[in-house]
Structure 1
Amino acid sequence: MLLLTIGLMSPIRGEEITPEQVKFFETKIRPVLIRECYGCHSNESGNVRGGLRLDSRELTHIGGGSGPAVVPGDLEESLLYNAIIHEDFVMPPKRKLPQDVIDDFREWIEMGAPDPRVNETVEVRSSISEEDIDQAKANFWAYQPPIKHSAPSVKNTAWPRSDVDRFVLAKLEEEGLSPTEDAESYKVLRRLCFDLVGLPPTPDQIEHFAERWKSDPDAAVAYVVDRLLEMDQFGERWGRHWLDVVRYAESTGREVNQTYPHAWRYRDFVIDSMNADKPFDQFVQQQIAGDLMPAKTDEEWAENLVATTFLAIGPKNLNEQNRVQFAADLVDEQIDATTRVFLGASVACARCHDHKFDAIPQTDYYALVGIFSNMTTYFGNPPSEYGTITNAQTRQSSSLMVLPVSDPNPYDKRYTAEELQDLRDQMQEKQRELLTVRRGAVGPNDNAATAQRTRLRLLNEMSALSAKLAVVDKNGNPRSYCMGVQERKKPSDARLLVRGEIDQPAQDVARGFPQVLCSVQPEIERDESGRLELARWIGSDDNTLTARVMVNRIWQNLIGRGIVSSADDFGITGQPPSHPELLDHLAVQFVESDWSIKTMVRTIATSRVYRMGTAYDRSSHEADPDNALLWRANPRRLDAEAIRDAMLSISGEIDFERPRGSEVAKAGFTRVTGGVLGNPREKARQAIQEATRSRGTMRRGMQRGRRNSMSEDILRKVTGQLDQEDAKCRSVYLTIVRDEEPRCLSVFDFADSSTIIGTRETSNTANQALYMMNNRFVIQQSEAFADRVIRERKTPNDQLQYAFLLAFGRPPTSSERSAAAAFIREFAPTTSYRSRGEDTINALCQSLFASAEFRYLD
C-alpha cells in the first residue's frame, strides 16, 4: 500500500549524530551500500540507474525517478527498504540480502537514518549588498512607513464630501480637470447594492432611496451603506473577493485532480469573518499561524485551525514522484501566496537566484523556507486504521487535522457495527489480494502487465475503502476534520539550493524575514520556527505594506481600479500609486479603525468620488485616457457571481440560506475526472438506477411536455455534476473544483483558482452572448422572472414597467416601450399585445437578462 504523511521525521544532520550512530552506520550500513549498491547508483561508477544516487546523504534522501530512497523514520516510504525486502522493487536483482542485514537497515531508518556522509558545502554569495537593501528602504515608496497626510486644499470647496474627495479633486485640479456630474440616483443605488452585497436593489429599496435622495443625497447614501453593511450578504460578497486572492478551490488541480472535502470550512470562516468585521490584522495572523495562537475555548481553537487552510489549499502536483521535490514546491507555493496576498511582494522569485528587480537576495527566500518547512501541511484524506492509503495515480498525499469540537462533514455517513465490519472485511480481503500479487502468485496465463493492472485496481479500491473508514471512529460515528497546518517539534534552518535544485544544497540560512521589508529583523528563538513571529509582523501596525495592500484591494473593488493598479505587486516592477498621499492616508486610517474593513468600505462608498457618473468628456480623456486621476466613474461589467445571483434574485428563486458543505463535501475524498466527482462509469450506473426507480416521476414529467429524454437526463446528471445548474444558493457557495469551474462562472471570467487573482480579467465575448441565449439555467430563470412579473402585476403596462424596474432598477423609456411592443409583435404575430402568450413574456424577460445594461454597472 502507498502511505505518506508529509514531514514525519526530519533527517538527522551530521552535527546531531551521536558516536554510537556513526559506528552503526559505518559498520553495518555503509559497507553494504558500497558492496551492493554503488556499482549502479553512485557518481564514481558513472552508472546512475533510475536517476538514483546513494553515495551521499542528501542524494539518498532525494532519491531518483521513483521517489526518495530513504525517508527518515518511515519504512513504507523508504524505497530502498522496499527494494531490499523485494516488495515494490527487487534489489539486488538476483538475490535477497540476509535477514540480519535487512534488520539493520530497518533499525537504521527507524532511528532517523543517521548518516555522517557530508558533502563539502558550497556557499552562494548574493549580488545584493546590505547597501542595496538600505537604499531600497530609504528610496522606494512601498518600503517607507505610511504617513497620514492632511487633506489638501481645493478650489472647488463645494464638491468634496470627505478627505477622500479632497485628495482626488486636488490631483484633478493640478491637471486642469474637473470631476463629472453625479450619477442618477438609481444608478448610485444599483452600484451600492452590487458593490456591497452583490445583489440588485429591490423595488422597495429603489422607491425609498429615490425619496431620500430628493431631500439629501448624502444622507440617502449613508443610510443605504449602513443598512447594506449589516446584511449577511455583505460577508458573502466580500468573502468572495478574498477567496479570489487566496486561490480558494476544493481540489488540487493539475494531473491528478484530487478533492478537498473540507475546504468549505475555510470558505465559511472567511464569510463569517467579513460579516463580523473581524480586525484584519487578526484575520491575517489566524491564516498564517492560527495553530500557534492562544485560544480560550475549543470553538476559538477550531476556528484558528480552520483559518490555516489558507496555507494548505493551494494547487498541488500529487503526481510528483520525488517527496523532497514535492515538499520544496509546496513550501514555495505557500511563500508565494503569503507574500503576495498580504504584502504585495513576489518573494518567491528569489527561489533560484537573487530577485531580478527588488532588493531580495536568494538567502531571504531560504530564510522564509526555514520558517515554512518546519510545519506539516494537512490537505488530503484522513488516515483510517489502515493508514493513509492513496490511489494508484496519487504519489503524494497527506492526512487531515482533527477538530477539537464535534462538527462533522454534513455528508459523512454513520455506519452500523455490521456495516463497519463489512468494510473492514473488504479491506482485509483487498490486502490479501495485493500481497498475493506482490509475491508474484498470479494465474498461469497472467503476465506482468496483467499483474500491474491488478495491483493498480486493488490500490484504487483500497483507497476508496480507506476513505470510507477514515471519516468515522471505531463506533462508526463521523469524526470532525479540517485542512490546515501544524508546527513540528524540532525546528531547523533550511539550506539554500543552488539554482533552486534540490540535489544542489549550499549553506544553511538562518530563519528570518525579507530584509528590505523590515526596519528591524525580529528575533526568532532557537526552539521556535518563527511562523508566529512572521504572522504577528505581517499583521502589525508597523508593517509598511499590509495595510496599504488591503486598502488598495478595497478601493479597487469599489472604484473599479486600484490606487496601485498592480494589486498583487507593490515592488519595483509594479505600478506606482496614482494618489500616493491618499493611499497612505487611508492605510493609516485603516489601522486606526482597528483594521476595520467595514469602516474602510463606508469611508469610500460615502465619498463624492464613489457616486460620480460615467459620462465621457473628450478633453479629460485626452489628458488622462486611463482615468487614473478619476475624473469620472469607471463603467464596470458585473462579475460572474453577481450576474448569476442577480438572475436568481430578480426571478425570486434565490435561496439565502447558507448550504452546509458542498458537492465536494458530499462526494468525499475522490478524484475529479471529466467534470465528475469519482468514477464516471460508476456515476452513470447510479444515475441509471435512480432513473429506473423514478420511472413514474419521469412518466408524469413527460406527460407535462418535458423535452429531455431519459438518456439525456442521465447524461446531464453525470457529465454536468459540477455545473450545478439547478442550485439556487448564492454563487459563493457553488462548488469550485480546479479546472472544472461551473459554466455560469467560467464564461464570465471567473478567477483562476490555481493562482492569486487580485484583479479579474473582464472580457466581452460571443460565448457570453450564446450562454445568455441558450443556457438551461438562464432559460429557467427567465421563465421564473416572467412568472413573477405576471403574478405580481396584472396589466401589460405595469408588467413591462415592473420587468424593467427589476432588471435595471428603473422604468422603461418611451422608446423602450415601443421597442418592447415591436418585439412582442415580431415574436408572436398571431397574438395581440394584451393577450400575448407565456412564451412571449418569457422571451422578453430573457432579452432583458441578455442586455448589456443588465450586465454592466454604469
Structure 2
Amino acid sequence: MAASRFSAFLMLVCVSVSAYAETITPEQLKFFEAKIRPVLIRECYGCHSNESGNVRGGLRLDTQELTHIGGSSGPAVVPGDLDESLLYNAIIHEDFVMPPKRKLPQNVIDDFRQWIEMGAPDPRVTNTVEIRSSITDEDIQTARESFWSYQPPVKQSPPEVANTDWPRSDIDRFVLAKLEQADLTPAADAEPYKVLRRICFDLVGLPPTPEQIDAFTDLWQSNPDRAVEYVVNRLLDMDQFGERWGRHWLDVVRYAESTGREVNMTYPHAWRYRDFVIDSFNNDKPFDHFVQQQIAGDLMPAKTDQQWAENLIATTFLAIGPKNVNEQNRVQFAADLVDEQIDATTRVFLGASVACARCHDHKFDAIPQTDYYALAGVFGNMTTYFGNPPSEYGSFNSVQTNRSSSLLLLPVKDPNPFDKRYTKQELKDLEDELKEKLEELSSVRRTANDGDVANAQRMRIRLSNEMSTISNKLSVVDENGMPRSYCMGVQEREQPSNARLLVRGEIDQPAQSIQRGFPQVLCSTQPSIKSRESGRLQLARWIGSEENPLTARVMVNRIWQHLIGQGIVTSTDDFGITGQSPSHEELLDYLAVRFMQSNWSTKSLIRDIVTSRIYRMDTAYDQHAHEFDPDNALLWRANPRRLDAEAIRDAMLNISGEIDFNRPRGSAVAEAGYTRVTAGVLGNPRDIARKAIESATRNFRGMQRGARNRIAETVARQVTGQLDQEDSKHRSVYLAIVRDEEPRSLSVFDFADSSAIIGTRESSNTANQALYMMNNEFVIQQSAAFADRVIRERTSPNDRLEYAFILAYGRPPTPSERSAAASFIKEFSSSLGYRSRGEETIDALCQSLFASAEFRYLD
C-alpha cells in the first residue's frame, strides 16, 4: 500500500541517524561493508558524493541520510521497497542507466536487491551541526509581556459616554467613546429598507423579499430595535445562514476540490468538508470544538460512528491545501506538505505566520527557527490522505503524478453519490484486465533487460497509466462491487519522533533534532508531550481554549469584518508585530471575552453586533469626519460595500425565482472522480475534450456527430472547472471549485484565491464586471426569468416596474427612475423594429437593474 510505504519511509527519515546505526546487526554490518560500500565508492562516489564537488542531479550517496533523501528525481533508497528505490532502478537500467556506459554484474545487482529488501542497513552517519538561534529567551519573554496580542484578552468595562441616548449596547459605547474623544458625531440611522437589505445579505447572503420588507418597515415605525432583533433571530435560524457563513470560512481554509499546481488532480471527496463546515455554522457548534476537530479530530473521543465520521471529515482541513503532486523527491514533498499545514493552522486560527521561520529566525515576532521545527515534529507524525484509495488488487501510480495518497475509510455507509456500482461479472472483467496488464509489464521488464530501454520505457508508462485507471475503479468498491465511503483527512502514526532542523530549510542539510512543542512566544508553559504522542491533540486543545491569547480575538475580528466592512485589526491573518494595530483594542478584548463566555457561540456574537446601533448607521459622507479619519477607522459612518461574487449570483437566482435551496449531494468534481484537470487556459474546455474524443474514436467512422459531441460535452464537464456552470441553480457555495479553473460567475467578482489563505477578499469595480453583466449567458438567462416572474405576478405596467425595483433594490422607483424607465422602454421597443407586447423590453429592463451599481452594493 502506497500510503503505508510513504509513512514508513518518512518515519525513517525523522529518526536520528546515530540511533538507527545502533540497530544494525553484526551480520548486516558485515554485508554492507563487504558487498555495498565498496561498490558505492568505486562506482558512485565520483559523481555523487560531497568530495565530487558539484554533484550530479543533487544526489549524494556518501551517508545513509543523504541516500534516503536522494536528489532531484527522488530518494535513492527506500528501505524495503525496490520499486521506489531509484538507485536499484538505475543499476538494473529501468528508469535510469547507471553506471552510464555499462551494466553492473548480476551478482552485484542481486546484492543491492538483498540489501534494500532487508531494510538497507547503513552505518554511515552524517556529522550533525547544531544551529543556535539569534533570538534569546529574554527576547521571547519581552515580546510576550509587551505586545498586545500575545497577552490574554482582559474583560473590559464599557466606557462612559456623553451622549447616553445614542448607544443601544456596550459595543456602541466603546465606539462612541472614541468618536467623542475625536469630536466626531456618528451618522444617523439608515433608512429601514437599507438596514434590512444589509442584514439579509450579511446573515444569509440573499436579498429581502417584498413581504419581509413590508413587515420590517411596519415594525420599524414603532420600534426599530425590536424590528432588527426580530429579523436577526429569524435569519439566524435559517439553513441559508450556514451556507453564507460557511463560505466565509472556506475562504480562510483555502477550500478547493483539486491539488492545483502543474499536475492538477481532483479531490472527489472535498465536498464532505464543505458540508461539515456549513452544518457546523447552522448548528452553532462551539467554535473551540470546531477548531479542535479540524486540527485533531482523528484523535478526539467519539461516542458514535456518526460522530467519529464527522471528526475524520473535519481533518480534511489539513489535507485540502494545494500540493505539487509532480514533486519527484518524496522527502521534499513531505517537508512542503508539513510547511503548508503549519502555515494554514497558525494563520487561520492564530493570525500568526510561524511558517516564516522555516528557513531562519522570525525576529519581528520572536519566533526562532527551532519553534518551527518543534511544530514540524507535531505535524510530521501524521499521514495525510488526499488522493485515491488503493485497491486490494494492488496500487499503481499513474506517471502523471509522482506523489500519490490514499483516503480514509469512513465508519458509516455514506458513499459518494456518483460512485459506480459493479456487477460481479464487471468486477471479474476488471480483475482479469489488471492481471493481463501485470503480465504485459513483466514482459516489458524483460525487454529492458535485453537492451531495448527506450521502447521499454514507453511501454511501461502506458501500462502504468492503464493499470492506475483500473486500480482506481477497483479501489472504491468492496468485494461485491458496492461503493465504499471515504473522506480526506489525517491519521496519527504509531511511533512519533522529533523533526530535525534544516539549515535554510534545505532537506539535505539536517541539523539537530528539535523537541516537539509550540511557539514559545504564545505559550508560556510548554505542553507535556509523551514519547508515544505527537502532540497534535495537545496543540488542538491549546489553540481551541481560553488559554490561547489569539484564537478568540482572531475569530471575533473575522466576524466583525464581514459585518462592519473592515476588521478592528485590518490585517486579518496577521496579529503579529508586522500586522496592523487594532483600532479599538478594548472593544476587541470585550468581544473576545464575551465570545468565550457565550460557549464560543458564533450566532450570539453576530446577534450582538447586528443589533448594535453602529451596525444600522447610514453611509452618508461627512467632510469634517473624512478629513480627520479618511479610512473610517473610528466608524463615524457605515462602510459602503460591494456584494461578493456568491451574493451577486445567488441574488439573481433568488430574484428570478429559479434558485434551488436543496443541498446538492456532492459536486461536479465528485461526479468526475479522481482525475487530472484539463488545462482550460489552453483553449475552450469543450473544444479540448472534443478533440480528445475525436482522436480516441477516429476508427469509429459510423459514430454520429451528435453522439460524439455529447460525449465531448460530458468529458469537458468532468475534467475542468472552467465552465461557468450556468445551468446550476443551487447556491454558489455548492459550485465546484477547482484550483486555477474557478467558475467565471465567481472569478470576475474577486472570488477568493483557493490556493491561499484569504481573510480579506479584494473588492474591485472593473470593466470586465460590467461586460459580464451585459453579455454572460447566465445573467441573460436570469434576467429573462426575472422578467417572466414580474409579468406573471403583476399585470399593469406601473405595478410591474415598481415590483421589479422592489425585488432588485428593496425599494420602489423614484419619480425620476419611473420617467427614465418609461423612456428606456419606448426607445428599446422602437429599436426592435416592430410593436412587441413588452416582454422583450422587460427582459432588457430587468438586466439593466442587475447590471446597476445599486444592485451590487450595500449602501
TM-score, length-scaled by structure 1: 0.94
Q: Which residue does the alignment assign to 1:544?
A: 549
Contact 2:722–2:744 (Cα < 8 Å) also in 1: no
Give secondary structure in 2 for the equivalent of 1:404.
coil
Which deviates further from its counterpart, 421-430 or 326-335?
Answer: 421-430
Give secondary structure in 2 for the equivalent of 1:485.
strand
Aligned ranges 1:362-441 → 2 under 5 Å:
362-440=369-447
Change (3 A) 1:204 1:408: same
Aligned ranges 1:181-330 → 2 under 5 Å:
181-330=188-337
CA deviation after TM superposition for structure 1 residue 618, in Å: 0.5
Q: Does 1:144 align with 2:151?
A: yes
CA deviation after TM superposition for structure 1 residue 384, in Å: 1.2
Identity, in percent, stands at 75
Contact 2:2–2:406 (Cα < 8 Å) also in 1: no
CA deviation after TM superposition for structure 1 residue 79, in Å: 1.2
Q: Does 1:353 align with 2:354?
A: no
Give secondary structure in 1 for the equivalent of 2:153.
coil
Question: 1:817-842 CA distances to partner (integer Å, 9 max, x unpaired)?
Answer: 00100101111127999964311110
Which deviates further from its counterpart, 44-53 or 773-782?
Answer: 44-53
Which deviates further from its counterpart, 163-172 or 56-65?
Answer: 56-65
Contact 1:206–1:809 (Cα < 8 Å) also in 2: yes
Which deviates further from its counterpart, 467-476 or 572-581?
Answer: 467-476
CA deviation after TM superposition for structure 1 residue 321, in Å: 1.0
Q: Which residue does the alignment assign to 1:344?
A: 351
Give secondary structure in 2 for the equivalent of 1:829.
helix
Contact 1:8–1:73 (Cα < 8 Å) also in 2: no
Q: Which residue does the alignment assign to 1:742?
A: 743
Q: Does 1:529 align with 2:534?
A: yes
Amino acid at match of 1:293: M
Q: Does 1:661 align with 2:650?
A: no
Distance 2:440 2:255 in 1: 39
Distance 2:690 2:704 in 1: 20
Amino acid at match of 1:745: L
CA deviation after TM superposition for structure 1 residue 542, in Å: 1.1
Contact 2:476–2:484 (Cα < 8 Å) also in 1: yes
Give secondary structure in 1 for the equivalent of 2:501.
strand
Contact 1:14–1:114 (Cα < 8 Å) also in 2: no
Which deviates further from its counterpart, 563-572 or 105-114?
Answer: 105-114
Q: Which residue does the alignment assign to 1:706?
A: none
Amino acid at match of 2:658: E
Question: 1:174-227 CA distances to partner (integer Å, 9 max, x unpaired)?
Answer: 101010011110000000010000011111111111111111000000000000
Give secondary structure in 1 for the equivalent of 2:615.
coil
Q: Does 1:557 align with 2:562?
A: yes
Change (3 A) 1:573 1:46: closer
Q: Which residue does the alignment assign to 2:798?
A: 797
CA deviation after TM superposition for structure 1 residue 24, in Å: 4.6
Distance 1:680 1:332 in 2: 40
Distance 1:2 1:403 in 2: 19
Q: Which residue does the alignment assign to 1:811?
A: 812
The one of 572, 577, 583 aligned to 1:578: 583
Contact 1:436–1:442 (Cα < 8 Å) also in 2: no
Give secondary structure in 2 for the equivalent of 1:506.
strand
Q: Which residue does the alignment assign to 1:637?
A: 642
Q: Which residue does the alignment assign to 2:130?
A: 123
Contact 2:175–2:634 (Cα < 8 Å) also in 1: yes
Q: Which residue does the alignment assign to 1:508?
A: 513
Question: 1:637-687 CA distances to partner (integer Å, 9 max, x unpaired)?
Answer: 000000000000000000000001111100110000134599664567899
The answer for unaligned runs of 5 or more in structure 1 is: 699-708
Give secondary structure in 1 for the equivalent of 2:789.
helix
Aligned ranges 1:9-24 → 2 under 5 Å:
9=9, 10-11=11-12, 13-16=17-20, 17-20=22-25, 21-24=28-31
The one of 443, 467, 475 aligned to 1:470: 475
Change (3 A) 1:802 1:304: same
Give secondary structure in 2 for the equivalent of 1:522.
coil
Amino acid at match of 2:373: Y
Distance 1:110 1:680 in 2: 47
Contact 2:95–2:457 (Cα < 8 Å) also in 1: no
Amino acid at match of 2:260: G
CA deviation after TM superposition for structure 1 residue 692, in Å: 7.9
Q: Which residue does the alignment assign to 2:770?
A: 769
CA deviation after TM superposition for structure 1 residue 424, in Å: 1.9
Change (3 A) 1:713 1:416: closer
Contact 2:202–2:563 (Cα < 8 Å) also in 1: yes
Change (3 A) 1:552 1:767: same
Give secondary structure in 2 for the equivalent of 1:828.
helix
Q: Does 1:608 align with 2:613?
A: yes
Change (3 A) 1:493 1:830: closer
Contact 1:824–1:836 (Cα < 8 Å) also in 2: no
Change (3 A) 1:436 1:170: same
Change (3 A) 1:24 1:272: farther
Distance 1:460 1:679 in 2: 19
Amino acid at match of 2:6: I
CA deviation after TM superposition for structure 1 residue 40, in Å: 3.3
Amino acid at match of 1:281: D
CA deviation after TM superposition for structure 1 residue 390, in Å: 2.6
Q: Which residue does the alignment assign to 2:495?
A: 490
Aligned ranges 1:691-702 → 2 under 5 Å:
none
Contact 1:567–1:759 (Cα < 8 Å) also in 2: yes
Contact 1:372–1:531 (Cα < 8 Å) also in 2: yes
The one of 178, 196, 202 aligned to 1:171: 178
Aligned ranges 1:700-779 → 2 under 5 Å:
722-779=723-780
The answer for unaligned runs of 5 or more in structure 2 is: none
Change (3 A) 1:443 1:725: farther
Which deviates further from its counterpart, 468-477 or 256-265?
Answer: 468-477
Q: Which residue does the alignment assign to 1:829?
A: 830
Contact 1:636–1:857 (Cα < 8 Å) also in 2: yes
Change (3 A) 1:686 1:751: farther
Give secondary structure in 1 for the equivalent of 2:521.
helix
Distance 1:561 1:784 in 2: 35
Distance 1:556 1:684 in 2: 51
CA deviation after TM superposition for structure 1 residue 317, in Å: 0.7
Question: 1:368-409 CA distances to partner (integer Å, 9 max, x unpaired)?
Answer: 001111111111111013433232221111111111111111
Distance 1:449 1:23 in 2: 37
Over aligned residue pairs, what C-alpha RMSD do you find? 2.8
CA deviation after TM superposition for structure 1 residue 455, in Å: 3.4
Question: 1:532-566 CA distances to partner (integer Å, 9 max, x unpaired)?
Answer: 00000000111100000000000001001000000
Amino acid at match of 1:8: A
Question: 1:210-267 CA distances to partner (integer Å, 9 max, x unpaired)?
Answer: 1111110000000000000000000000000000000000000010000001000000
Amino acid at match of 2:336: D
Aligned ranges 1:10-159 → 2 under 5 Å:
10-11=11-12, 13-16=17-20, 17-20=22-25, 21-46=28-53, 48-93=55-100, 102=109, 104-159=111-166
TM-score, length-scaled by structure 2: 0.94
Contact 1:3–1:77 (Cα < 8 Å) also in 2: no
The one of 672, 675, 689 aligned to 2:677: 672
CA deviation after TM superposition for structure 1 residue 612, in Å: 0.5
Give secondary structure in 2 for the equivalent of 1:517.
coil
Contact 2:94–2:448 (Cα < 8 Å) also in 1: no
Q: Which residue does the alignment assign to 1:786?
A: 787
Contact 1:3–1:76 (Cα < 8 Å) also in 2: no
Contact 1:3–1:387 (Cα < 8 Å) also in 2: no
Change (3 A) 1:597 1:720: closer
Question: 1:297-318 CA distances to partner (integer Å, 9 max, x unpaired)?
Answer: 1111111111000000000111
